[in-house]
Amino acid sequence: MTTTTQIKTLVVLGADGDLTRRLLLPGLASLLGSDWGDARSIQLLGAGLSDLSDEQWRQRVGDAFGEGGAGPRVSRTAQRSRYRRCDVTSVEELESLLAECDGTPALFFALPPAITARACQALQQLDLPEGTVLAMEKPFGTDLAGARALNQLVGTLVPENQIFRVDHFMGRSDVLNLIGTRFSNRLFEPVWNNQHVESIEIVYDESLALEGRAGYYDKAGALVDMLQSHLLQVMALLMMEPISRIDERDLRDAKGQVLRATRLRGAPREASRRARYTAGTLDGRKLSAYSREPGVDASRRTETLAELTVEVDTWRWSGVPVVLRSGKALGRPRKEAVVTLKPTPHLPTGLLGNDTSDQIVIGFKPAGLALHLDVSGPGDPFDLETVSPSAELEAGDLLAYGEVLAGILDGDPLLAVRGDNAEECWRIVEPVLEAWREDKVPLDTYAAGSSGPSSWS
Ligand SMILES: O=C1O[C@H](COP(=O)(O)O)[C@@H](O)[C@H](O)[C@H]1O
């Protein structure tokens, strides 16, 4: 179900922050420059603690818009946008901000969870215009109890379908491709179960290091930054039951069913690994150890590489290990979901088999699709070798944040994370967070630029 009121003003709370500049504004520019922008216009109102004049703000918007796509419509929105200095935890200041909105607003909280919660408490004192939409960045809360409390709080402000818990992976065409690939080809569904699948791996290994984000990252770590949010969403799309239609209810119900059935494959000691990078060389660039990065509190023991093995307890998936892994400063970036099939029940005697398993690989950044199959090799036709027919896929027209913003501004929560699903993601990782806090799982190390701890291979 979507809201019927049209959003007229996008209010960015935390407009002076890094996320707004790096992701949100370029995403908005890509949306305004698309067909969507032909039919719709939007007022942009930035709010933050910095003292910025409208002119300074417009300059920032113009620069960030330049990264998402220029064009007259895009520059017009930048030139008309306004900025207000605002303490978002103050009822009076929020009230004046809302009074400046033209028509129904979408409030985008580009803020840490604790400030978002305080801003929502302040909003409880105000009457929000009918149809107001609230959009919140990840992480949604900092643990299960926090996510539950935040869900209750935002639930007092607007109905669930007007709450957009943003996960930009859900706006990425290479991730949404999981739906198209799975459900528009007969090839995959018959083997998409524990009778045929041996294991699943969802990996997002990045060569990016901290990129000046210590203030946020050091408190989150790889597990919360990537697995708790993005990779569990990818897993839910990859493993959900076929849906009847692309609508928010079908899709979010199907994802929820997977998430509710997901548990760690054993105790955290067996089902999780963590590591942190030490000094090394990446793409010819010398990187210092994570612990020596400006803004890092070494005593916090934040991991920069996290791995979890989970299982989805359903008839379809029971017994299949699912490995989720993501890390920073890795020498061999690898961003993909790999479905490994079981060996055939019998290889005809006389056929010299490869001992590799068939695999279906769905690539993210770059988007792609590959199959690894055994076929007759050169020379002796009964001596098999592995081939990998593959296709590179084009990226979608919109940046991920553009896609996500389209949903927010149209009031369609299809790509947003529903409250119950956000809580499930915390429930899944909570035992690991606790075990890591209590140091029950060793913190391994790897050199920046390597492919991870040597003991992991
Ligand atoms: O949300 C995040 O995602 C990025 C990876 O996503 P991408 O679309 O930029 O490839 C990750 O680098 C960052 O740490 C995390 O906060």
What CATH number should be reported for the domain holding residue 246?
3.30.360.10
**How many whole angstroms separate alpha carbon 339 and alpha carbon 317?**
12
Q: How far is the CA of 210 from the centre of ligand 1 (A)?
A: 11
Coil/strand/helix, residue 320: coil
189, part of any domain:
yes
Point out the ligand 1 atom lying closest to the alpha carbon of residue 138. 1
Q: Ligand 1, closest atom to CA 23?
A: 9
Confidence of residue 457 (pLDDT cuts 50, 70, 90): confident
Instruction: Work out the pLDDT band at 1, boundaries 50, 70, 90.
Output: very low
CA of 27 to the centre of ligand 1 (A): 14
Comparing 48-52, 216-220, 348-352, 408-412, the range with the smallest average pLDDT is 348-352
What number does the ligand 1 atom closest to the CA of 172 have? 8
SS3 content of the chain, % helix, strand, coil (to 5): 40, 25, 35
Nearest atom (ligand 1) to Cα of 216? 16
User: Are residues 199 and 249 both part of a single domain?
Assistant: yes
Q: Decide if pLDDT at 70 tops 70.
A: no
Phi, psi at 271, each rounded to 5°: -100, 0
pLDDT for 397: 87
Alpha carbon nearest to ligand 1 atom 4, residue: 226
**387 within ligand 1 shell (Cβ under 6 A):** no
Contact between 188 and 181 (Cβ < 8 Å): yes
**What is the reported pLDDT for 396?**
85
Query: Is pLDDT at 278 greater than 60 in this prediction?
Result: yes
Same domain for 240 and 122: no
Which one of the listed residues 168, 230, 346, 372 is annotated catalytic? 230
The residues that bridge with 199 in the sheet, in sequence order, are: 340
Residue with tokens 């926090």: 146
pLDDT of residue 68: 59
User: Is residue 365 within 6 Å of ligand 1 at its C-beta?
Assistant: yes
Mean pLDDT over residues 244-265, rounded? 98
- pLDDT, residue 2, reads 52
Closest by Cα among 262, 209, 267, 206 to 238: 262
Going by alpha carbons, the residue nearest to atom 15 of ligand 1 is: 225
> Torsions phi, psi of 300, nearest 5?
-75, -20
Q: Give a yes or no: residue 335 inside a domain.
A: yes
- In angstroms, what is the span from residue 196 Cα to ligand 1's centroid? 32
Distance CA 329, CA 449 (A): 6
Helices (H), 81-190: 91-99, 113-123, 144-155, 173-183
Looking at the fold, whether 19 and 82 belong to one and the same domain comes out as: yes
Residues across the chain = 457
196 annotated active-site: no
Cα(230) to centroid of ligand 1, in Å? Answer: 9
The verdict on 248 and 109 lying in the same domain is no
Q: Look at residue 404 and tell me if it is in a domain.
A: no
Range of the domain at 190: 170-397+418-447
Same domain, 364 and 233: yes
Distance 50 CA to ligand 1 centre (A): 25
- Per the structure, the count of domains in the chain is 2
Rounded Cα distance between 217 and 304, Å, is 9
Strand spans (E) along 254-412? 262-264, 272-278, 280-282, 285-287, 305-312, 322-327, 334-341, 359-363, 368-376, 384-387, 390-392
- Which residue lies with its CA nearest to atom 6 of ligand 1? 169
| Rounded Cα gap, residues 181 and 371, in angstroms | 13
At 198 the pLDDT is: 98
pLDDT value at residue 72: 77
The pLDDT tens digits of the residues spanning 86-143 come to: 999 999 999 999 999 989 999 999 999 999 999 999 999 999 999 999 999 999 999 9
Q: How confident is the model at residue 38 (pLDDT cuts 50, 70, 90)?
A: confident
Q: What is the mean pLDDT of the chain?
A: 94
Report the b/e string of 244-257 with b at 16+ CB within 10 A. eeeebebbbbbbbb
Question: Which is higher by pLDDT, 204 or 352?
Answer: 204
Residue 20: pLDDT over 70: yes
Q: Ligand 1, residues 22, 202, 206: which to mutate, most atoms within 8 A of Cβ?
A: 206
208 lines ligand 1 (CB under 6 A): yes
- Do residues 96 and 174 share a domain? no
Overall average pLDDT of the 421-435 stretch: 98
**Pair (333, 376) in one structural domain:** yes
Pocket test for ligand 1, best of 230, 334, 364 (most atoms within 8 A of CB): 230
Q: Is 114 in the pocket of ligand 1 (CB under 6 A)?
A: no
Q: How far apart are CA 431 and CA 433, in angstroms?
A: 6
Question: 67 pLDDT exceeds 70?
Answer: no
One domain for residues 236 and 328:
yes
| Assigned domain for 158 exists | no
For residue 442, whether the previous peptide bond is cis, meaning omega lies within 30 degrees of 0, is: no
The two three-digit tokens of residue 117, written as one number: 């919660």
Stated pTM of the model: 0.96
**What does the DSSP 8-state code read for residue 161?**
G
Query: 67: CA distance to ligand 1 center in Å?
Result: 17
Q: Residues 148-157: what's their mean pLDDT?
A: 97
Cis ω on the peptide bond leading into residue 139 (within 30° of 0)? Answer: yes
Among 63-67, 125-129, 357-361, where is mean pLDDT lowest? Answer: 63-67
Which residue, judged by its Cα, is nearest atom 7 of ligand 1? 169
Cα distance between residue 416 and residue 349, in whole Å: 52
User: Which pair of tokens denotes residue 276?
Assistant: 């942190």
With the CA atoms of 293, 295, 301 and 302 taken in that order, what torsion angle do they form, in degrees rounded to the nearest 10? -90
If you measure from the C-alpha of residue 239 to the centroid of ligand 1, how many angstroms do you get, rounded to a whole number? Answer: 22
The reply to whether 283 falls in a domain is: yes
Residue 157 placed within a domain: no
Asked whether the predicted pLDDT for residue 73 surpasses 90, the reply is: no
CATH code: domain of residue 23 = 3.40.50.720
Q: Does residue 130 sit in the same domain as residue 176?
A: no
- Block residue for tokens 């979901």: 337
Q: Which atom of ligand 1 is nearest to the CA of 213?
A: 14
% of the chain beyond a pLDDT of 90: 88
Q: Are residues 378 and 312 located together in one domain of the fold?
A: yes
Classify the C-alpha dihedral 192-194-199-200 as positive or negative.
positive
Helices (H), ranges, 134-247: 144-155, 173-183, 214-222, 232-239
- State whether 98 and 230 are in the same domain: no
Residue 412 confidence (pLDDT) above 50: yes
For 227-240, how does the pLDDT look when each residue is reduced to its tens digit (9 = 90+)?
A: 999 999 999 999 99
End residue of a domain, out of 118, 137, 156? 137
- Give me the helix-helix angle, 25-32 and 400-410, nearest 10°: 70
Structure confidence by residue, pLDDT tens digits, 165-199: 999 999 999 999 999 999 999 999 999 999 999 99
DSSP H stretches of helix in 261-320: 268-271
Question: Ligand 1 center to residue 63 CA distance, Å?
Answer: 21
225 Cβ inside 6 Å of ligand 1: yes
Residue 163 is inside which H or E element, if any? strand 163-165
Find out whether the beta carbon of 424 lies less than 6 Å from any atom of ligand 1.
no
* 206 touches ligand 1 (CB under 6 Å): yes
Given a contact cutoff of 8 angstroms between Cβ atoms, the answer to whether 275 and 453 are in contact is yes
On the question of a cis peptide bond just before residue 366, with omega within 30 degrees of 0, the verdict is yes
CB of 335 within 6 A of ligand 1: the answer is no
Contact 409, 106 (CB under 8 A): yes
Interatomic CA distance for residues 180 and 424, integer angstroms: 25
| DSSP strand pairing (384-387 vs 443-447) | unpaired
Indicate which residue's Cα is closest to atom 16 of ligand 1: 225
67-81, 210-224, 275-289, 369-383: the lowest-pLDDT one: 67-81
Is residue 454 situated within a structural domain? no
For the cut 90, the answer to whether the pLDDT of residue 337 exceeds it is: yes
Q: Are residues 133 and 196 in the same domain?
A: no
pLDDT for the residue numbered 151: 97
In a domain, 142, yes or no: no
- Tokens in use for 175? 């991730």
